[in-house]
Amino acid sequence: MKVVVSIGGSVLVPEPGADRVAEHAAVIEDLIDEGCRIGAVIGGGGVAREYISAARNLGANEIELDQLGIDVTRLNARLLIAALSEESVTAPALDYEEASEALRRDDICVMGGVAPAQTTDAVGAALAEYIDADLLVYATSVPGVYSADPNKDDDATKYDELSATELVDAIAGLEMNAGASAPVDLLAAKIIERSGMRTIVLDGTDPDRIARAVRHGEHGGTDIVPDGVGAEPTYWASDEQ
């Protein structure tokens, strides 16, 4: 089973420290031991936001800010690599071809951002599409996809399941509300829609939840089920990974 796990920077590195990174690395290695092939995409989190804000105050343009953000995602990716065994790549893959080659060698593939004007949400979706993954998991700091920003709207409800087209509509609605941040951005949702990728959006602060989602489809977040696909994929129906 091929899985792309996209871990938000604020999930992996809520503050500079080793514990959370070690826990996520351990879960990834457990899944590999069980026969999964894993591509991990790491976000920039609060550190990226702080650097971007400082550079914006210094007059950097938007592309320069994106490059700075990409550098921080790769810095966080290197932290995960430091916690992984020698089966991992030694540096973040810089593009999808490099990432795919690492997976073909049966290495644990890790990457951060790749190009300006997007986020690692889109990188996760594009990598999943490129390697023809069985499953894409977004480990975010929120419990799933909501109808509105749950921090601002008491009526916001979490979706247990959405089709990819419904995901695109839900995210587009959220992005039009200034200040509301969607757990997955619109470009990522569009890639998920075109690729028909089975996707889960979950609260990744507990890495065991990622493991349960990959092993059994249990997560308490939001399932994005491609149009025309049956209820449960075969890898959850059997013991096979």
Question: Is 144 among the residues that bind ligand UTP (CB under 6 A)?
Answer: no
41 close to 120: Cβ distance less than 8 angstroms? yes
**Least distance between ligand UTP and beta carbon 233 (Å):** 26
Q: Which stretch binds ligand UTP (CB under 6 A): 19-27, 38-46, 197-205, 216-224?
A: 38-46
**Least distance between ligand UTP and beta carbon 43 (Å):** 3
Question: Is 205 among the residues that bind ligand UTP (CB under 6 A)?
Answer: no
Strands (DSSP E) along the chain, which ranges? 2-7, 37-42, 109-111, 135-140, 161-163, 199-203, 222-225
How many Cβ atoms are within 10 Å of 104's Cβ, its own excluded? 11
Question: Is 48 among the residues that bind ligand UTP (CB under 6 A)?
Answer: yes
**Least distance between ligand UTP and beta carbon 239 (Å):** 34
Q: Is 196 left (phi over 0), alpha (psi -120 to 50) or beta?
A: left
Residue (of 54, 83, 58, 57) closest to 69 by Cα position: 54
45 close to 15: Cβ distance less than 8 angstroms? no
Question: Is 45 among the residues that bind ligand UTP (CB under 6 A)?
Answer: yes
Judged by CB under 6 A, the residue of 4, 13, 37, 73 near ligand UTP is 73
Q: Which residue's beta carbon is nearest to the bound ligand UTP? A: 69
Strand partners, 157: none
Between 73 and 235, CB nearer to ligand UTP: 73
Tell me the C-alpha distance between 44 and 193, whole Å.
25
In the complex, the residues that contact ligand UTP under the rule CB under 6 A are: 8-10, 43-45, 48, 65-66, 69-70, 73, 113-120, 123
